[in-house]
Amino acid sequence: SAEIIMHAGREMFTPPPKVDSAVVRIDVDAKKFESANLKAVRNLVRCAFISRRKTLVNNLVNSLKVSRERAQNALELIGVKEDARGETLSAEEFVKLSEVLGEYLNG
């Protein structure tokens, strides 16, 4: 879970940037994903963001050498649209997808 602790305006920096900032607190629930294969999830996240402008299906096909049909079926199985990009998936969806594609991620 994430929470904004305070806002830090651009005037607080030298030289001032063109955007405002914020201090964010992130709390990680270590037990939430304790059964997940973290290596597989990490590999999947890398794959999802290797080419950020491409869809997740394209990244899976190009990075993991998964067939397009297998990639599309995996996304459908976890309830994610075929045209999704990596940044649209939640942590839970990454874990589910890593379980579906585990054989490709653990190699």
pLDDT tens string 26-77: 998 878 888 888 899 999 999 999 988 899 999 999 998 889 999 999 999 9
User: Residue 104 to residues 7, 59, 75: CA-CA distances in angstroms?
Assistant: 42, 13, 14
Alpha carbon 3 to chain centroid distance? 19
User: Residue 80 to residues 17, 18, 27, 57: CA-CA distances in angstroms?
Assistant: 37, 35, 26, 11
Categorize the per-residue pLDDT at 104 as very low, low, confident or very high, splitting at 50, 70 and 90: confident
- Name the pTM for this structure: 0.74
| Confidence at residue 68, expressed as pLDDT on a 0 to 100 scale | 94
What whole-number distance in Å separates Cα of residue 1 and Cα of residue 25?
A: 8
Burial tier of 93 (Cβ tally within 10 Å: 0-12, 13-18, 19+): middle
**What's the whole-number average pLDDT of the chain?**
91
